[in-house]
Amino acid sequence: MRGIDDLGDVAGRTILLRADLNTPLDGTTITDDGRIRASLPTISKLAGRGARVVILAHLGRPSGDSYAQRAAGGPSLRPVAARLSELLGHEVRLAGDVAGDSAAAVVAGLADGGVAMAQNIRFEPAETSKDDAERAGLARRLAALAGPGGLYVGDGFGALHRKHASVYDLPALLPHAAGDLVLDEVAVLRQLTENPQRPYAVVLGGAKPSDKLAVIANLLGSADRLIIGGGMSYTFLRAQGHEVGKSLLEEDMIPRVSELLAEAARRGVEVVLPVDLVAATHYGPDAEHEVVPVGEFPADRESLDMGPATRERFASALADARTVFWNGPVGVFEFPPFAAGTRAVAEAISQVSGLTVVGGGDSAAAVRILGFPDDAFTHISTGGGASLEYLEGRPLPGLAALEADGAAG
């Protein structure tokens, strides 16, 4: 897979840069600019070499059947363009559309070394269409923006598991390369899958086991220890016969969870589950709560966090690890009274002497909200879903597109 250093002289050439700038917003205020900052090295390198950089990115999941409906409902990339302008120290002009007259005018006005951005690419229904022809049509319109000598750089790791027009179809139309962020992400994932230092511990949290059962099944062939907390742990506890009250539960997943627990035992993979939980009266930051052992959970309560004995147990299971991958908080960390479990996991992982990977999404947001610096971990991924699918052993369409030869060389 070619990197941007393999593109040769890019001065004066228009580069369509697919980035992942899907930042969390509170209204129009960015609450975590981690993905924007992670994209800066590639943007700066290309602009510094005199390229005319046009960023393609998505934000949220706009609803509607037409461009007009989606654009009216938003969200606009305006806050992202403003933050990127601050970080780069010069204006990043935002087009009023994705591949229309406004985008064409913005691209035409770019000077060498300039950076601009198209509007939220998901305003175009064809971006996420399952119809190959619709996606291909949008890809051709985007490629036309680049003009003669145009190039494509894929640096949106968090979108590589999507078969979308700007991720999968567009690279086939232009000479292309992977950005530095994508190369770094893939290099880390290869360390996790090809020859990890041992013990190799995987921490999985989040809401639902159904989202992660396939990756758990695949990890049974490589991990030494699975530490399971958060919402998904309640289905595992129920599979062992424990009462979980009104906690998150996927009843239909219990048979599959039981099979995975048995398979883990056969393979000698240790599965570490909670031994006590924080039982709350309801879902909310003001909920009354108490710590109870897993064998004594009240039927009228729901768990919102791991208890102190579980926190100690998880920390102990991580203490001797040489490789750690973590995806998913183990409690409702957004509510301060229920953030202790996730904080304990982050603290324990930050103390590991070896490769530590925070698998994007809510996990990345959690460590930042809880005050951990990025350098407390070896790597904070920008793509939770993409990381999980890679670890599951599934091909990533966007990665395959970057690895293929471009139409023009």
Catalytic residues: 35, 208, 361, 385
Q: Distance between CA 359 and CA 379 in Å, rounded? A: 8
Q: DSSP state, 167?
A: I
Copy the structure tokens of residue 364: 């990345």
d(CA 209, CA 216): 9
Task: Evaluate whether 294 touches 242 at the Cβ level (below 8 Å).
Answer: yes
Task: Phi first, then psi: give them for residue 234, nearest 5 degrees.
Answer: -70, -30
Q: Is 197 exposed, middle or buried (0-12, 13-18, 19+ CB in 10 A)?
A: exposed
Cα–Cα dist 55/34, whole Å: 17
Q: Which is nearest to 2 in space by CA: 190, 186, 141?
A: 186
Query: What is the distance between the alpha carbons of residues 301 and 371, in angstroms, rounded to a whole number?
Result: 30
Phi, psi of 292 (to 5 degrees): -135, 150
